[in-house]
Amino acid sequence: MASLLPLLFFFFFASPSLVNAKSNSTITSINRDLYHSSADLLEQIKALVHRHPDKLTAETIKTGNKGYKAEITVVTYCRSRKETDDRSKFRILLSFGQHGRELITTELAFRILSVLSEEQFLPDVDAASLNNTLDKLIIKVVPMENLNGRKLVEEGDLCERRNGRGVDLNRNWSVDWGKKEKDYDPYEENPGTGPFSEPEAQIMRKLALTFDPHIWVNVHSGMEALFMPYDHRNTTPDGVLSERMRSLLSKLNNVHCHKHCMIGSGGGSVGYLAHGTATDFMYDIVKVPMAFTFEIYGDTAASSKDCFKMFNPVDLTTFNRVLNDWSSAFFTIFKLGPLQLDGNHSKAMASGVDKFVSIDEYLDGYLMERRNRYGKKMEVLDVGMQEIRTYFRLFLLSSVLLLFMFCSRIAKGKSSRPIVSALSI
């Protein structure tokens, strides 16, 4: 019996640790040798901007509601800072890191900015030709849209894609918001309490509406794909713009994606419909002529629980290949995008009429702008935002009713006057 005690002790106390070690061995941790921390990456980007003030500027936009705060850094590339508001230039808006677990996307943002600043170079690209292309562009880069979610990943929640309060930022936009498919996963796809309930989405909406880009690209990982609208339908749009989008994606697939990227609508290609996405909003509401979602990497052999490996390269060779291939792809977009759209013509064609912006969108954007300017003194507006909307709607309704009553009185007055025959004159 005494001889069994060591075995019993080992079974009850040692074996659980061995089981955990075995299960944890399949979970890949963040490779700190390859990937920057969120804080370090943003500091590196700000230092890059500081070294190249002739090409790059940066601003950090902060906002929040209901005790939740968010901030987004936006880097603007323009070869002459005096022309950053020049509406004649071709405008491109790029967003990375919308989902916290997709670290490789933020590294790609840093690589693209490094090439734009000429601290790094693309192979087999003529510098003079590239500069001639870039002279005509204004490029805004959001290197890390979901900073709060990224911090959760860095703290150990490697599968987290949502923001700091559990909302999927790519389900929080207004186009077809809140619809739930049969395979809806509340953990993965929580759309929030309403369209643009999240400060990060509010900042991005305001940025898109004011910048009014010709091209939008939302960069993700998890697979290799080049998606165009729509995410909430299994079809692509009709017309010339759709054909031009598909043509550009085909060229990118052939040259940079080694012909194995999936091409088509997000909803029709990925196997499920997504509602309330940024790209559908950009195309339908902002009227961006070319709106894309790129998926730049995915390890299909990785376990669904091994999220870091599933969404991010884990070895140096693959890491460099992904960054080299996709940074080259973006510079192909910078070159071919304006040619595909014939300059600014297709932007006007896509808009057709002035963009309709709802009362809610206008007020949210106005209040966010005031809050960014005046800081904490404006936090009280978060509490009264719904009341302001309500009073504004009541004002509009009362104005319409008064106008209706006024017109009715005039009509009644005219009908009560005696009719004078022309013969009495």
Selection from 52, 137, 55 nearest residue 91 by Cα: 137
Q: Are 410 and 342 contained in the same domain?
A: no
Q: Are 265 and 201 contained in the same domain?
A: yes
Question: Given this model, what pLDDT does residue 393 score?
Answer: 64
- 272, part of any domain: yes
- 15, part of any domain: no
Q: Are 257 and 350 contained in the same domain?
A: yes
The low-confidence residues of the chain, meaning pLDDT below 70, are 1-25, 81-86, 343-394, 411-425
- 28, part of any domain: no
Q: Are 224 and 336 contained in the same domain?
A: yes
* Catalytic residue set: 295
Question: Given this model, what pLDDT does residue 83 score?
Answer: 54
**Domain range for residue 412?**
379-424
State the angle between helix axes of 38-51 and 147-154 in degrees (0 to 180), rounded to the nearest 10: 130
**pLDDT tens digit sequence for 364-418:** 444 444 443 344 444 334 434 545 555 566 677 777 777 877 777 776 665 554 4
Q: Are 408 and 316 contained in the same domain?
A: no
Question: Given this model, what pLDDT does residue 346 score?
Answer: 56
> What region does 360 belong to: left with phi over 0, alpha with psi -120 to 50, or beta?
alpha
Q: pTM value?
A: 0.79
Strands 215-220 and 262-265: unpaired
- 365, part of any domain: no
**pLDDT tens digit sequence for 283-336:** 999 999 999 999 999 999 999 899 999 999 999 999 999 999 999 999 999 999
- 13, part of any domain: no
